[in-house]
Amino acid sequence: MAIWRNARCSVNRGPRKRRLALGALILGAAALVGCSGASNVADARQTPAPQPAPPASETGGFNGVRAWDYLKTIVDFGPRPPDTPNIRREQVYLVKQLESFGCAVSQDHFHAQTDLGNLAMDNIVAKIPGKSPDIVLLLSHYDTLRLAGFVGADDGGSSTALLLEVAHDMCGKPSPLTIWIAFVDGEEDQVNFANQQQAQTIWSDNNAEFGSRELAARMENSGELKNVKALLLADMIGDADLDITRDSNSTPWLEDLIWSTAKHLGYSQYFLSTTMSVDDDHMPFVRKGVASADVIDFDYPYWHTAEDTLDKCSPHSLAVVGHVFLATIQALDKKFAPPKKGKS
Ligand SMILES: [Zn+2]
C-alpha cells in the first residue's frame, strides 16, 4: 500500500482493544504524519491465530478457502517488485487463472520512468460484459515493495487473491453492470529500500502508483473513464486482526454504501467508523472525478516489514471482505442498473 497522510491523532470509537491498537499504530506512524510520541508498532499487540473461512454459502458465494489458496500461491512466488522474474511469473499465473475462469483478459504493457530507471510494467484487466455499459471498476495492486525478504502476504498479496476469487465468482455470469477487475503494477515506491524504517517513511508521489496512473490515463483517452460509476480499491485486507477504517480521500456516498452493506451483513466489528486519510491507487481516479473508495486495513503492525507473511493473515478476513465486495456490487447494480419492470 501507499502511504497514510494527515492521520487524525484521536480515535473515539470502537472496542477498547481496537482503539488501543489503532492508537499504538498512530503513535508508531508519528514520523509519517507528525503526531507527537513514538512507539514500536510491532510490539504493540499480538496477531490472533488465523480463522478458517466460513463456507461460501454464508458469504454470498465468495469462496474464502479458494481465495486463501490463491494467496498461498502468490506468496510462494517470493518478492514481486516490478520488472523482476518473480512478478513475471505472477503475471503469467494471474492471466492463466483469469482465463480459466472464463474472463476476457487484457494485458496492458507499458514502461514507467522511475527513480530506478525505465521499468517494464503490466496492468492486467479482466472484463465482464454487462447489460449496461456503465462500469464498476475493482482494483488491486499486485506488485510488492523492494525490501529484502518482503513477500507482501497482506500488502499486495491479499487483495490480489481477493479479486481473483471475485473474478472466479463473476466471470461467465450475466451482470447488470459491466465489471472490470484490474490488477495494477508498480504501486509501491520504486526505491531499493535498505531497511523497514526507510520503507515506512520514504514516499514520492511521482515514483509510485504507476499502474493506476497508467490505467486512469488510458481509460480517459479511450473514453471509458466516464462510464465508471464506482471504483472499489482493495489493499491490505488479509490481516487476521481485521479492522478497516474509512478514508477521507474516498467518495462519501460510496463509502457509505460499502459500510452500510457491511453492517447489514453483520460485519460492523471489521468496518470501523474511524477515519484516516490514505494516498493509494484510487487517487489517480479521484483526481479525475471518479467515485472511488479505498477498502484498506492500515492497522497492521507488519506493514512494510519482512514480517508481512502468511501467518499474519486469515482466510476469514478474505471471506469477510469478499462477501462485502460481492454484496456492494449488487447494491451498485440496483443503484445504476435497476431491473426494468416487464409489461406482461
Ligand atoms: Zn505497500
Could you tell me the distance, in angstroms and rounded to a whole number, from the CA of residue 145 to the centre of ligand 1? 6
Question: CATH class for domain 63-336?
Answer: alpha beta
pLDDT of residue 43: 44
Is 20 a residue whose pLDDT tops 70?
Answer: no
Joined grid coordinates for residue 225: 473513464
SS3 40: coil
pLDDT of residue 147: 97
pLDDT band at 2 (very low <50, low <70, confident <90, very high): low
Could you tell me the distance, in angstroms and rounded to a whole number, from the CA of residue 194 to the centre of ligand 1? 15
pLDDT tens-place string over residues 108-160: 999 999 999 999 999 999 999 999 999 999 999 999 999 999 999 999 999 99
pLDDT tens-place string over residues 263-276: 999 999 999 999 99
Could you tell me the distance, in angstroms and rounded to a whole number, from the CA of residue 90 to the centre of ligand 1? 17
Could you tell me the distance, in angstroms and rounded to a whole number, from the CA of residue 4 to the centre of ligand 1? 11
Region 170-194: mean pLDDT is 97
pLDDT tens-place string over residues 279-331: 999 999 999 999 999 999 999 999 999 999 999 999 999 999 999 999 999 99
Could you tell me the distance, in angstroms and rounded to a whole number, from the CA of residue 294 to the centre of ligand 1? 14
Average model confidence (pLDDT) across the chain:
88
Could you tell me the distance, in angstroms and rounded to a whole number, from the CA of residue 317 to the centre of ligand 1? 18
Could you tell me the distance, in angstroms and rounded to a whole number, from the CA of residue 235 to the centre of ligand 1? 9
Joined grid coordinates for residue 292: 472511488
Could you tell me the distance, in angstroms and rounded to a whole number, from the CA of residue 32 to the centre of ligand 1? 14
Which H/E stretch holds residue 286?
Answer: helix 283-286
The domain segmentation of the chain, as residue ranges, is: 13-46, 63-336
Could you tell me the distance, in angstroms and rounded to a whole number, from the CA of residue 335 to the centre of ligand 1? 33
Could you tell me the distance, in angstroms and rounded to a whole number, from the CA of residue 1 to the centre of ligand 1? 3
Could you tell me the distance, in angstroms and rounded to a whole number, from the CA of residue 171 to the centre of ligand 1? 28
| Model pTM score | 0.88
pLDDT tens-place string over residues 244-253: 999 999 999 9
Which spans in 171-251 are helix H?
Answer: 196-199, 210-222
Q: How far is Cα 184 from Cα 245, in angstroms, rounded to an integer?
A: 23
pLDDT of residue 114: 98
Could you tell me the distance, in angstroms and rounded to a whole number, from the CA of residue 230 to the centre of ligand 1? 23
pLDDT tens-place string over residues 50-73: 889 999 999 999 999 999 999 999
φ and ψ at residue 239, rounded to 5 degrees? -50, 130
Could you tell me the distance, in angstroms and rounded to a whole number, from the CA of residue 135 to the centre of ligand 1? 27
Could you tell me the distance, in angstroms and rounded to a whole number, from the CA of residue 43 to the centre of ligand 1? 20
Is 180 a residue whose pLDDT tops 50?
Answer: yes
Could you tell me the distance, in angstroms and rounded to a whole number, from the CA of residue 187 to the centre of ligand 1? 8
Could you tell me the distance, in angstroms and rounded to a whole number, from the CA of residue 296 to the centre of ligand 1? 11
Is 49 a residue whose pLDDT tops 90?
Answer: no
Bin 6: left if φ > 0, else alpha if -120 < ψ < 50, else beta: left
Residue 245 CB burial class (10 angstroms; 0-12, 13-18, ≥19): buried
